[in-house]
Amino acid sequence: MEAAQETVDTATEAREMLVEPRFRGVADRFFDLFQTTANGGGALAVYLHGELVVDVWAGWAAKDKKWTHDTVALCFSTGKGVASTVLHRLADRGLVDYDQRVAVYWPEFAANGKGRITVRQLMSHRAGLHNARAFAKGPHGLLDTEGMATAMAAAEPDPRRFFGPGYHALTYGNLVAEVASRVTGQSFTDLLDQEIAQPLGQRGFWFQMPEEDRVRVARVFPRIRTGLGWSATSRVLARIPRIAAIAEAGMADGFDELVRSPHAHDAVMPGWNGVFSAPALARMYAPLANGGLIDGQRFLSTETVEQLTEVQTWARDYVLGIRPNWRLGYHPAWLRVKEQPRRSVGHYGYGGTGAFADPETGLSLAFVSNRLGNNLTTVSDLRLPRLGAAALWVARNAA
């Protein structure tokens, strides 16, 4: 692995928008999304064969503040893909073995029958530790990084893990971060900088965000609402057998308020509190779409890229109720097209943000926004699937 290049804050330097002519239609679709303050704001970045071809932004970071080139956004589960990439960088250097037991790196993890769970199983949501409601104690329990790790290490895993994956909506990032920190003896914040930001020359990656940079974060809206209130709804849903796992995995106490609070940036919670810029995300996925290379530098080996694009389990996910076909820390790009990019890898987040790489076309794309979903639901919408489909069409037809 070549030595990391000196960090250059390209997100700050790139003060002009960029649209390569073939992608004008994609950019037009993007600009149409942000016509009023009710639409909020966002940014879109696209790489093709390792070259930046789209870098645009529009709309409002807050009701009285325009989105600019250096605005960043809370991207929720999009961060799972970033955290996974950190671990892949370590595996690439032989520091982590996907088929090794997690307990070899994190001895306490062996408690209560988890001694045989491997890193591969953990990265494909088969560790049986989806229940964030059980591990996060109190309204701010999700911010207790050490407490979450201790609780999960001591927990008995859900037996359904033997039959299929169970989406670790809020716990996945904690698990990956703890393994990475145990292996290296470093904080995950330092690893994020050393393994992702520095080699890519991008500063637009945070989980625990410095106070001086928080002014750049777009204001998330609207509030996450449920009919009975968040806590009451999650308790009710947790008693209904068919959907209990959804509440357990994604409805920890206080999450609805925490996502709009400055305290969301106080801790390292890679499953949900990642703050990113679109150019940074798209650049991180660019080598995953191009055999591990970016700017002629080796970011990941071709062997590692091949492994991380392989489907790890075809079974139905007992939390989501669908077959996500989990890769090693990613899911496939879900786009508004008939012919899906079947070797793609990426991760989408609550509200509609996300990023992906498609090795078949050399395309990587990232979309971030502070507007959660649409008027019907804050969970997600079709903005990213449609933008991704438009960009994929161009990439598939590129000369």
Residues annotated as catalytic (active site), given as ranges: 77
**Per residue, what are the HEC states of 6-47?**
CCCCHHHHCCCCEECHHHHHHHHHHHHCCCCHHHCEEEEEEE
Supply 397's token pair: 């037809």
The Cα–Cα gap between 98 and 333 comes to 23
Question: CA of 200: how far to CAs of 121, 289, 315, in Å?
Answer: 28, 14, 35
The Cα–Cα gap between 273 and 157 comes to 24
Q: Is 324 helix (H, G, I), strand (E, B) or coil?
A: coil
| HSE-CB of 341 using CA atoms within 13 angstroms | 31
DSSP state of 141: G
The Cα–Cα gap between 89 and 93 comes to 7
The Cα–Cα gap between 70 and 90 comes to 29
Dihedral class, residue 73 (left if φ above 0, else alpha if ψ from -120 to 50, else beta): beta
